[in-house]
Amino acid sequence: MDLQQIKYFLALARELHFWNTAGKMNITQSALSRQIQSLENQLGIQLFERNKRNVKLTAAGQFLKEKWEVELNKLEFIHQSARQIQLGESGTITISHPDSISASLIPEILSRISDAFPKLKIKLVQVLYENQLDYLRNYKIDLAILRDINHAKDIQSKKIHTDHLAIVVPEDHPYQTPEDLTKETLASQKFILPTSDEGSSYSDLIRRLFNSFENAPEVHLHSEFGSTIIALVRKGLGIAVLPDSYLFHEIPGIRFIKLPLETDLYINWRSEDHNPVLANVLKLIVP
Query: Which has the closest alpha carbon to 46: 64, 61, 26?
Result: 61
Query: Which has the closest alpha carbon to 259: 191, 206, 195?
Result: 206
Q: How far is residue 130's CA from residue 203's CA, in Å, rounded to a whole number?
A: 13
User: How distant, in Å, are the alpha carbons of 75, 143, 173, 179, 241 from that of 182?
Assistant: 56, 39, 15, 7, 15
* Residue 95: CA count within 13 A, CB half-sphere: 25
Q: How far is residue 246's CA from residue 264's CA, in Å, rounded to a whole number?
A: 14
Position with higher pLDDT, 106 vs 86 = 106
pLDDT category of residue 224 using cuts at 50, 70 and 90: confident
Could you tell me where the beta strands, DSSP code E, fall in 3-52? 48-50
Work out the average pLDDT over 48-56. Answer: 85
Percent of the chain at pLDDT > 70 equals: 96
Work out the average pLDDT over 202-222. Answer: 83
Position with higher pLDDT, 286 vs 195 = 286
Q: Is the pLDDT of residue 217 over 80?
A: no
Q: Is the pLDDT of residue 85 over 70?
A: no
CB 181 within 8 A of CB 175: yes
| pLDDT at residue number 69 | 92
pLDDT category of residue 77 using cuts at 50, 70 and 90: confident
pTM: 0.66
Q: How far is residue 127's CA from residue 15's CA, in Å, rounded to a whole number?
A: 25
First to last CA, the chain: 47
Q: Is the pLDDT of residue 87 over 70?
A: no
Percent of the chain at pLDDT > 90 equals: 62
Residues, the chain: 287
Per mean pLDDT, which range of 95-99, 135-139, 214-218, 252-256 is the poorest? 214-218
CB 36 within 8 A of CB 49: no
Per mean pLDDT, which range of 43-57, 168-182, 206-220, 256-270 is the poorest? 206-220
Q: How far is residue 197's CA from residue 157's CA, in Å, rounded to a whole number?
A: 20
Work out the average pLDDT over 161-176. Answer: 95
Query: Which has the closest alpha carbon to 121: 149, 83, 155?
Result: 83
Q: What is the DSSP string of 157-218?
A: EEEEEEEEEEEEEETT-S--SGGG--HHHHTT-EEEEEPP-TT-HHHHHHHHHHHHTT---E
Per mean pLDDT, which range of 6-15, 212-221, 269-278 is the poorest? 212-221
Q: How far is residue 32's CA from residue 9's CA, in Å, rounded to a whole number?
A: 9
pLDDT category of residue 84 using cuts at 50, 70 and 90: low
Handedness of CA 94, 271, 114, 276 (dihedral sign): negative
Q: Is the pLDDT of residue 88 over 60?
A: no
